[in-house]
Amino acid sequence: MNAHHQSALAQKLLFLADDELILAHRNSEWTGHGPILEEDIAFTNIALDEMGHAATWHRLRQELTGEEVDTAVFFRDPAAYRNVQLVELPNSDWAFSMLRQYLFDVYELVHLAQLAASSYRPLAEAAAKIRIEEIYHLRHTAAWVTRLGLGTAESNQRMQAALDTHWPYAHQLFVEMPEDAVLAEMGTAVSPTSLLDEWQQITTAHLTQANLIIPTNHTPPTTDRADHTDHLTSLLAEMQSVARQYPTAVW
C-alpha cells in the first residue's frame, strides 16, 4: 500500500468512526430521559453498540496512523472531525432520534455488506463483525418507524416532521469524498455513491408503508465532511471536557 492509498484509508476510517461516535453521543443523551423505561434501555444499548463500533474503526486507524484512540477522540477539534451533519443535529423529540437512527441503520447495513468484501482484510473483518450486531438495531428502529408512522395523527405528524428534516441531511452519507474515489479505484472500499439506490429503495418502501411521505428535497446542506454546524462544537465541548481537564487521568 503506498502512502497516498494509506492516507485515504486512514481518512475513510475516520469517516466511519466519527459518524458512529457522534451518533452514539447524541443517542446517549437519551439515557435517563427515554419516553418509557424499555426504550431508555434500548436506546442506551444502541448508543453503546455504536460507541463500540467507533472504537473498532479508530483502532484500525491507529494501526495506520499511530494516533492513539483517546487522543483522536478527545483532543481533536471540531474542524478536524469528519462526521456527516446528520448525526450532529441536536435531539428534539423521540421521533427525531428514532428516525435518524433508522436511516443510519439502513445505510450501515448496506454499506457494511460492501465493506465486508474489502481487499483490506482488517476493514473487511471489522465490517463483517459489526454487520451482525447491526441486525438488532434495524429490527428495533424499523419496528418503531412503523409503530409511530401508523400510530396516532400526532405520532405520524412528528415522524413526518423528522423525516422532512433528516432526509436531505441523510443524503450526505452518499456523497463521494476524494478519499472515497481513491479507495474505490483500489478496490479497498466502494464509493458511497454506489449505495444510494439500495438505501433509497429500502427506506422508501418501509417509510411509505408506515404512511410517511418521502420528501422531494434530496440535497444535503453540505457535501464536505469537513463542514460542520455549530452543534458539533457544543457537543464536543461537553464530550471532551473531562479528558481535557484531566489529561493524565486513567480509567
Partner 1 sequence: MITTTHIWQALEEVKDPELPHVSVVEMGIVRDVQLEADRVHVKMTPTFSGCPALDVMRHDIAAKVRELGFTQVTVETVLHPPWTSDWIADSARDKLQQLGIAPPIRHGGNLIPIAFLDVATCPRCGSSNTILKNAFGPTLCKSLWYCHECQDGFEQFKAL
Collect all residues with Cβ–Cβ distance below 8 Å to 90 and sequence separation of at least 6.
26, 231, 235
Which stretches of the chain bind partner 1, using CB under 8 A? Answer: 38, 41-42, 44-46, 48-53, 55-56, 121-122, 125-126, 128-130, 132-133, 135-136, 139-140
Three cell numbers written together for 105: 441503520
Which of 11/56 has CB closer to partner 1?
56
- Angle, in degrees to the nearest 10, between helices 94-115 and 153-170: 40
d(C-alpha 148, C-alpha 162), whole Å: 11
d(C-alpha 72, C-alpha 171), whole Å: 26
Which of 59/76 has CB closer to partner 1?
59
Which of 93/125 has CB closer to partner 1?
125
Q: Give the nearest distance from C-beta 148 to partner 1 in angstroms.
A: 17
Which of 108/171 has CB closer to partner 1?
108
Q: Give the nearest distance from C-beta 51 to partner 1 in angstroms.
A: 6
Q: Give the nearest distance from C-beta 114 to partner 1 in angstroms.
A: 17
Which of 3/250 has CB closer to partner 1?
250
Which of 20/180 has CB closer to partner 1?
20
Q: Give the nearest distance from C-beta 45 to partner 1 in angstroms.
A: 4
Q: Give the nearest distance from C-beta 162 to partner 1 in angstroms.
A: 21
CA of residue 222 relative to chain centroid, distance = 16
Which of 71/233 has CB closer to partner 1?
71
Q: Give the nearest distance from C-beta 65 to partner 1 in angstroms.
A: 18
Q: Give the nearest distance from C-beta 43 to partner 1 in angstroms.
A: 8
